[in-house]
Structures are given as structure tokens and as C-alpha cells.
Chain A
């Protein structure tokens, strides 16, 4: 069973931000360590890094005209900040991995979505 884990940063401090700089070296190290460990999990295909949601452009087509808006489809805080793919036996395994993603415990959330398969 394959899942996509969509990482929503929420209020999670992102590297480069003031909030991030306020974290101790130990806290920062833990976040990097956690991501490293996740990416080394044999079932995981790491996602590519996404630029922050401020850089997103949302596209709609109405009556044949292409309309663009500045920013993500949802609110900035709710936007997808990253993703990874995970091949696992079942949903419990995917939930366990999702819970290890730092964003899940630092003010964000992870959405677990099964992929294809019908």
C-alpha cells in the first residue's frame, strides 16, 4: 500500500525564519535528525523541497479564460509545505511515520493519503 504524506507546516518554525533562529541548537538538531531518519526509512521516497507557500500561484479556468491568483489554494497557514511517499503494510504504519514528522508536533499536521490502487 502506498501513501502520500502531505506535510502542512501550520505554525511550525521554518529554517530561515526568526522563530527558527529562536530554537536552541539542540532543538534544531532534533528536527534535522528526525527528517534524516525518516528519509532513511526503506519505505520512504523523500519528496522534493517546496519553496514557501507565499511563492505559489493558484490557477483556475473560467469560461475558457485562465485566471491566476497569488498564493496557495488554501490559507497560507494551511498550505502544503512538503510531502513524501511511503510504501507501507497498512494505515497504522503510515500514521506511525506521520507522527514522527517534526511538523506534526510543532504546530502543523500531516495528512496521510492513500495513493491509487483501484
Chain B
């Protein structure tokens, strides 16, 4: 029962909180009321059974509690919209369904007037239902810092009147891009840093699924979800004995085939909607990477498309890797050497690999050494160390 309750709480938190914020117009009041309702549920449900519509039960209970609280507190009353509501008896739960306002909530949390780290924290707190200490741990910042960040963000939403709504059409493309960027950032935090923080990736997937359900006609929403599913499917194979394993060396039997299939279904949906934005293209690339043998020409072509869309040298670097497989290291090196990524460790790691293949061992060693100096964590350092060791000891002039 406890597990069932926890799962329900987890699943419903975002919905309940969004409905309450929409109704009360106040983040803090809504959060308190939601917490109170969940506490009541934890006490009653084991005894009386789980109501037929747990979400509606929770919203109604929280709403009634909030109205009582507002009535008791006049200053609070002046600040909220709740007063106009006629009656609220403690436990009359009419179980009407409430509109799903999670979209309004996520667009508010990801409003560009908030700093990105605040957007991320607020999204995880309100939609994900993560506690402040959980978010602080996930982002490796002190709890007090994270608490302060959340307080400040909520204060700004209120003081500056950031609207609680889905943006109108002329603002929607930019705002949706901001929302997707936040979800992707959460996913990346959970995906790229070993030891991988799977809980954040799982959280991003939950948000991605919710968005796909709420905005079924937006191809980029499906593109992001597809990409996350396809990348996440390879998680188990990315780390072996605590070491980072590159895609080419991964044990494919450890990939999650069902999840790859699910990702591809979502990608098909995005393509059917004529999506061709950055997330859809990245999902298509991730899908091609799951094939064996890989179609490097197609992958390189998609990276070229992505490069056009994003104008990002990092994407060009990925394209170079595909070009190396398709046309050979020489053509790839020509691309890599044009990129303004002097301080990017993967640029040097990639150069090292290309130079090694070209037999330019000394240059390869220098490039690996530069990558090593820029490496972020031990798993990366060990991987680069292994690569350097494979170049052999003191080398003479490059062969060939």
C-alpha cells in the first residue's frame, strides 16, 4: 500500500499542484495545500481505499483546505483568487474532474524571464515533485542554495506577474523551445555524468511523456521524447566495470530493445507530423546509431542537416566523426581543424583518434594529452589514458 501511495503521489503531484496554482494563483499556497492533501490521503486511503479518481480527490481536498486557510487569514485572502468560491466544507469531495493545467505550469516554470538553473529547479520541484534536498543532491549544490533558488524564482513569478498560461501562438515556438531545452538539460544531467544519475534521466522521460500527451501535435515534443528514449535504451551498455564505453564498443545485448522500439514509434509520430526540427533530427540520428551495420552516409547527412539548423560547431564535430567512418579520417580531420572549439575536450579526443588512424602518432599523443588536461571526470581520464597507452611507448617518426 505504501508503494502504491508513493507511486500515486509521484504521478499526481504535478497535476494536483498545477490545478491548485491555476485556482489559487499562488505557488506557495498551492504547495502547502497539496502537501496537506497528500498527508490526508496517506492517512485515509489505506483505511478507506483509494478513490476512483485519485487526482480529482486530491485537488478537491487540497482546494477545500486552501479555502479554509484563506478564510482564516484575511491578508492572504486579499492576495488570492480563492475568495470568490462559494462553499467549502472540509470533506465534501465531489470528484469533479479538473482541467489538466500542467502545461500552463511548465510554461510558467520555463519562462525566459527566469534563469535557466531556476527553470530547471522549479520544473523538477513542481512538475516532478522532487523535494528540494533531492534536487540539490542531483545538481551537486548545497541544499540552502537550492532552497534559495526556488524561493527567489517563485517570488519573481509572483512579483513580476509571469503569466500562468500556455503562450499565445506568436510566442509559442520560442517558449516551447525553452521548455524542451529544460527537459533535455535535466536528461543530460542524468545521462552524461558517470556514475550516471538515472533518476534525473527518468524524471526527464516522465516530463517528456507528459508533454507528448499534452501537446500531441508538436513534432519537436515527440522528437525530444524519441531521442531520450533511444539514448536511454543504451544506458546499461554505456558503463562497464565503472568505465565509460564508447558506442562502437558497447555490448548490444545490453541495450533495451523494447525501449529502442518505443523510441522509434515516437520518432515515427514526429515524422508523420512533418517534424524536421533539431530534436527530430537528433532522434533520427540516435535511431540510425542503433542499427548494425550503421549507415554512416545517412548519419553524416543528418548531422549536416542538424548543423544547418543549430549552427553549432559541436554538431560539426559529430558530423566529422560520421564522415570519418564514411569517407576516412583525412576528410574528417579537415572538418575538425576548422572548428573553433579550442577548449572543448571532445575536439581534442576526436583529433587524437583521427590522427592515430592516419598513423600520425606523435600528433595523436599531443591531442590526447590536451583532451586529458580538459577532461571532467575520472572515467573520461581513464578512457583517454587507455587510448594514449594504445599508441605505444616512445614512437619514431609517423609511419607512412
Contacts and interface: CB of A to CB of B under 8 A. Distances in A.
Interface of A: 1, 88-92, 95, 112, 114, 117-118
Give the secondary structure class of B's interface. Answer: loop
A94 to B, nearest CB: 8
B161 interface: yes
Interface in B136-164: 159-163
23 contacts: A1-B161, A88-B161, A89-B161, A89-B163, A90-B161, A90-B162, A91-B111, A91-B113, A91-B160, A91-B161, A91-B162, A91-B163, A92-B162, A92-B163, A92-B167, A92-B171, A95-B113, A112-B160, A114-B159, A114-B160, A114-B161, A117-B159, A118-B159
Interface of B: 111, 113, 159-163, 167, 171
Q: B159, B161, B162, B167 — which one has the most chain A CB atoms within 10 A of its CB?
A: B161
B113 A90 contact: no
A61 to B, nearest CB: 29
B167 to A, nearest CB: 7
Contacts of B161: 1, 88-91, 114
A95 B171 CA distance: 11
Contacts of A118: 159
Contacts of A91: 111, 113, 160-163
Contacts of A114: 159-161
B112 to A, nearest CB: 8
Contacts of B160: 91, 112, 114
A92 B30 CA distance: 23
Contacts of A1: 161
Contacts of B163: 89-92
Nearest to A96: B171
A20 to B, nearest CB: 31
Contacts of A112: 160
A114 B158 CA distance: 10
A88 B161 CA distance: 10
Given A89-B161, A117-B159, 12 more contacts: A88-B161, A89-B163, A90-B161, A90-B162, A91-B111, A91-B160, A91-B162, A92-B162, A92-B163, A112-B160, A114-B159, A118-B159
A5 to B, nearest CB: 12
A88 B167 CA distance: 16
A91 B113 CA distance: 9
Nearest to A92: B163
